Amino acid sequence: MIIRSDNSTDFESRRLSSRQFSGSKRVVFLIALLAVFVIPLTPSGVADEPEVDLPYVIERLKEWRSSFANIRVEWDLLIYRNGPTAPLSDWSAPDIGAGEPMLKCKWIWADDGMLFYELAGDGPGDRSRTVSAYNGREGMAFRSAFQPQDGGAEKLRLLTVRGPGTGKPISVFCPPPLDGMYWNGSVRWLPEVLSDRTWISRGFEEIGGYRCLRLVTAPDTPGLGSPRNVWLDPDRGCLVRRFMSTRDGDADLPWVDVIVDEFQQLPDGQWFPKRGRMQLQPEPINQLWVVTDVAFNEQLDIKQFRPPEPEDGTLMDDRGRSYVHGQQRRVSVATDVPDSKVKPSERQTGPTATPPATMWWWSAGLAVVSLLFLSLGVWFRWRRRNLENVR
């Protein structure tokens, strides 16, 4: 019998520990070899990231813009009456249920000169509706205003019809989900605007926790009364995360401020705004919006771009002639002139010298649908003034 002392047991333990240590050293050595010879051969993730500068942004936005020939967007607009008075960027997005329903909106744009805009009252007791359309295919434009009737019906109260005019289908309004992406005053998309104007990079800033590149129009940009700011999100196709028009020539003094709080990815992989908020200064007035439907490259229903049939009692403004439909004699506000005697210029622009594609967008219909536009009065005032500076 061999009897081992406690000392011999300790010796065996030390031998085992020694072998384990030697094995550990071999593992460390192999890891060191990998670090020296393998890791440097693997491209660094940071080094592979493209530089996010103006040329890169323009290319990404061109890819997004080239993905559609037409676009339809529908959204709900809500008023946030008890919202913070602090600047929009200083507070987080509230739950969409915090807003009071105000409007249901629909906007259609096509690159062959088609534009459709519908605003329908969504507030308590307000179901007025306006539809405006520019039909470049058939050479006409119209604005219609409907008033609700008992039983859920509606009556066409006003219809304004114009020829195509001589310009593009500009409008006073830009859909809040596309603020900064679509420039309604010049009928252009952001990649075009970035390409032909001088922009100053302010570097990267966080908007709602997202790292965005801030670009500001140069102070001497022709046609702009005050600078415009866009914050572009590289992780969302370089789409606009925030857009801000300013006042008093100060690039940091908000006038209209829009932030996209959430994006969605469409079936084709393209990014698109989902919900956000808008603040109108200097009051301020806070609004929330949420996109309910969006589609690219649909088959357009041409009927939407044609004026509705007038009803008895509809106030008509037909290419400069004003009358009440259904009356025996057409009574013009100015003079009752047969079609054959109407000058071509009057058929296009009406009797005033207002630019052709803008006059009918916001004229007499405002009075007819007063309930609808009373709630929107302040908003329209700010956005109209914003357009006068020519986006």
Full DSSP string of 14-39: HHHHHHHHHHHHHHHHHHHHHHHHTG
Phi, psi of 107 (to 5 degrees): -140, 130
Give the number of residues written for the chain.
391
Query: d(Cα 338, Cα 327) in Å, to the nearest integer?
Result: 16
Strands 140-148 and 154-162: antiparallel
Which segments in the chain show pLDDT lower than 70? 1-49, 166-167, 170, 172, 220-225, 248-254, 328-391
pLDDT at residue 32, rounded to an integer: 45
Count CA atoms within 13 Å of residue 137 on its CB side: 15
pTM: 0.73
Q: CA–CA distance from 102 to each of 23, 77, 128, 287 (Å)?
A: 73, 6, 11, 9
Long-range residue pairs from 191-197, CB within 8 A, at least 24 positions apart, any chain:
191/58, 191/61, 191/62, 191/65, 193/391, 194/54, 194/57, 194/58, 194/61, 195/58, 197/221
Please give the pLDDT value at position 186: 83
Please give the Cα distance from 371 to 97 (Å, whole number).
Answer: 23
Q: Are 63 and 89 in contact (CB under 8 A)?
A: no
Q: Which residues of 343-365 are buried (b: 16+ CB within 10 A; e: fewer)?
A: eeebebbbbeeeebbbbbbbbeb
CA 331 to chain centre: 42
Structure tokens at 225: 């009364």
Give pLDDT, residue 224: 59
Q: Is the peptide bond before 169 cis (omega within 30 degrees of 0)?
A: no
| Three-state secondary-structure class, residue 229 | strand
What tokens appear for 340 in the block? 């054959």
Which pLDDT value is given to residue 282? 76
Q: What is the pLDDT of residue 165?
A: 73
Q: 270 and 262 in contact (C-beta within 8 Å)? A: no
Tell me the per-residue pLDDT of 224-242, one tens digit each, with 9 for 90 and over: 567 889 999 999 999 999 9
